[in-house]
Chain A
Amino acid sequence: MDKNIYAEFIAKAELNEVHKVLIASAIPYAIIKGEPLSFLAYGDFALRKKSDIDILIDKNNIKRFESQLENHGFITQSNSRKDRILYLSSSHQTSPWIKTVNNLNLKVVVDINFDILWGEYNGKRIDIHEFISDAIDMEIYGFKIKTLTVLKSLIQLMLHQYKDLNSIFLLATRNSIKYDMFKDLYYLLKNNVHIIKVSDLYNISSCYQIVPYIYYMLYYTRLLFHDRVLDDYIEAFKTQEGIDLLNCYGLNDSERREWKYNFSTRLNSKNVYELIKNDLTEKDLMKININRRAFLNE
């Protein structure tokens, strides 16, 4: 089967399963990343690789949504109370929910996202109920779903990538510094530059108190893509706090530390763990081990 036709076939089967749950649960939501982001960034549902369906909902609605997932045959591997507390207090999503569609030999994986920041963040949190309140309609392969506006998709993506680029756990356990992270961001911004005004992006970022993180992502995206279209954004977001983040990793003040390697070395490294292993403290190692058990089932 042609690669694109196969991708569409799988996406339809996955959306079919998830769409039923979304209708039954009747809660506000936005499907993030995946096909909606692919369409907004590249104008094509199938241009981004994906392994699961990410749904952003308010934390208050998790139980209701999980109950409908269960009713529709999805199961989760992590059932212990301790693991649930770990996910809800230290992550932006719950343990994945999985449904095997036997006649297609397909595993549909749903990630419930309840935050667009990270567990380690100790500033003002973003109200997800408000964040998804202006979600837009999108039709994907015949399924009508809700997704974020372009502006909020960009915010969500930048925070997500910042987290992956700075999480000690992710840096230690997978090569979480990837060119494609910046590529998605670049094309989402470049192809929607007429919609995403500098002032709008700045105002919403300022309201959410995330200006330094957005600067970090814009700065490195500009470094990789050499496109002057980003210059006005970078100039608007430049603060000393943002500049100070550029050569650091770690997700809050207490764990943040300086890189001993430049950005190019980090990006091209085949094993990021090797770059940070000598900086890890006992506390870091304990946290990595607990997270390994909970998030990677090791």
Chain B
Amino acid sequence: MNNTDILDKILKIVNDNIENSEVSSDKFDDELSALGMNSISFIQIIVLIEETFNIEVPDEKLLITEMGTINKMLEVIVTLIENDID
């Protein structure tokens, strides 16, 4: 799975779970909390990310400040997938 595939999947999960907003490709570094993600939707998004990519986000990354943008999510997911392959 390349980064574009991963991004597409993250985007779908995020857009399905935040209200009143659509995250587009020019907003990958925007804080999702400013776009409608709250603590409840954050939990839902993480659960779906873990299920979709078959990963477990480490404890220290389970914070909106650590995974609060699309690019931050991508970075964590890519690292976990790469570590899993290694």
Contact = CB atoms under 8 A, between A and B. Distances in A.
Nearest to B47: A82
B74 interface: no
Given A62-B59, A122-B33, A85 B46 contact: yes
Given A90-B39, A122-B65, A286-B40, A85 B47 contact: yes
A122 B46 CA distance: 18
A60 B47 contact: no
Contacts of B57: 85
Contacts of A12: none
Nearest to A286: B40
A81 B62 contact: no
Given A89-B64, A122-B33, A125-B65, A63 B39 contact: no
B43 A85 contact: yes
A17 interface: no
A122 B64 contact: yes
A165 to B, nearest CB: 20
A60 B65 CA distance: 16
Interface residues of B, number: 16
A125 B46 CA distance: 21
Contact of B39 (A60, A81, A89): A89
Contacts, number: 43
A119 interface: yes
Given A81-B47, A85-B46, A125-B65, A119 B59 contact: no
A222 interface: no
Contacts of B60: 59-60
A290 B40 contact: yes
Interface string A82-100: 1001101110000000000
B45 to A, nearest CB: 10
Contacts of B38: 283, 287
A52 interface: no
A82 B57 CA distance: 12
A63 B40 contact: no
Contacts of A81: 47, 50
Given A89-B64, A125-B65, A120 B47 contact: no
B66 to A, nearest CB: 9
13 contacts: A60-B59, A82-B43, A85-B47, A85-B62, A86-B43, A89-B42, A89-B63, A89-B64, A119-B39, A120-B39, A122-B64, A287-B40, A290-B40
Interface of A: 59-60, 62-63, 81-82, 85-86, 88-90, 114, 119-120, 122, 125, 254, 283, 286-287, 290
Q: Across the A-B interface, give the 3 residue pairs with the lowest CB-CB distance, nearest first.
A: A88-B62, A59-B60, A89-B62
